[in-house]
Amino acid sequence: MPRHMEQITNVRPWPLWVGLIALCFLSGGCVTQGEFRKLEERVIDAQRAEKKGPDPFARIAALSNEVEALQAEQRRLQGELEVAQKTAQEALDQAQKARETLAAQSAVEDPAGAMGAGGEVPEPTAGPQDGTSSAELTAYQQALSAWRSDDLKSCVDRFRKFLQAYPKSVYADDGAYWMADCHFKQGDYRVAVLRFNDVVRVYPKGNKAADALYRQGESLLKLGPGFYDAARTVFKQVLEDYPDSDRARAAKEQLEAIGND
């Protein structure tokens, strides 16, 4: 067997062989010795280039490892989120229990002063409980005192500082609510809409959520007829999310007054 034929038989099959065979049949005869040499060299060069190129299976394996790593990170983050949500709910439940206890004590100690403006119940002035520090309670009481006396600028400033200093306080949602109310009393209705919305968004299961959502609707009404559609949406949301609350009945009356379109 000629030497060049032995070399070709040792080369791994390549698509160029298909072209060589087709060329033989289509041309009515095989190629010349020189042309055959050129084809042989091209086959060998192609084989060498293939050996030098990156291994596609190694790349696939690397990508598979990256995907597995991303999936593991996603599972870890999901676990942390679930833990955070559970912790937040537990803290909210504890805060609700503390408020109920303090409200009961306040009603016994000062029945006439238990109700705030508009029939709402401000937080009582009992001593610190459930891990509430003396400084925290003092800061809250001072802000609440400003609200009671209609010192509106001081009310906003004090509640803002209180929320910045004690964002996880058992009184945080109440503080956010009364600060929004101070904006409302000042006539800053656009700001009041945002602040009442913060209460609903951050503390959707808090004891002020239904009140805040309703008051957001009131603030929108104060902005004029151009905001009535938005107010309707808010009042309907009160009926949907808090159907058993006192605010649900008031929301229904508001819808009847402005037209439930």
For 107-121, write each residue's pLDDT tens digit: 434 433 333 334 454
- Contact 174/204 with Cβ under 8 angstroms? no
Angle at 202 between CA 77 and CA 205, to 5 degrees: 100
Q: Cβ–Cβ contacts within 10 Å for residue 161, how many?
A: 14
d(CA 247, CA 234) in angstroms, rounded, equals 12
pLDDT beneath 70: ranges in the chain:
1-40, 42-43, 45-59, 64, 77-132, 260-261
Residue 128's contacts (CB-CB under 8 Å, 6 or more residues apart) are 134, 136, 137
Phi, psi angle pair for 80, to nearest 5°:
-65, -40
For the four alpha carbons of 189, 194, 199 and 200, in that order, the dihedral sign comes to: positive
Sorted by where each begins, the domain ranges of the chain are: 3-52, 109-258
d(CA 139, CA 126) in angstroms, rounded, equals 13
CATH architecture of 109-258: Alpha Horseshoe (1.25)
d(CA 124, CA 180) in angstroms, rounded, equals 19
Question: Which alpha helices (DSSP H) does 28-55 contain, by range?
Answer: 33-52
d(CA 98, CA 107) in angstroms, rounded, equals 14
- What is the pLDDT, as a whole number, of residue 234? 95
- What is the pLDDT, as a whole number, of residue 259? 81
- What is the pLDDT, as a whole number, of residue 131? 57
Q: 121-138 burial string, b = 16+ CB within 10 Å, else e?
A: ebbbbbebeeebeeebbe
- What is the pLDDT, as a whole number, of residue 133? 77
- What is the pLDDT, as a whole number, of residue 124? 43
- What is the pLDDT, as a whole number, of residue 89? 54
- Contact 106/126 with Cβ under 8 angstroms? yes
Indicate the SS3 state at residue 195: helix
pTM above 0.85, yes or no: no
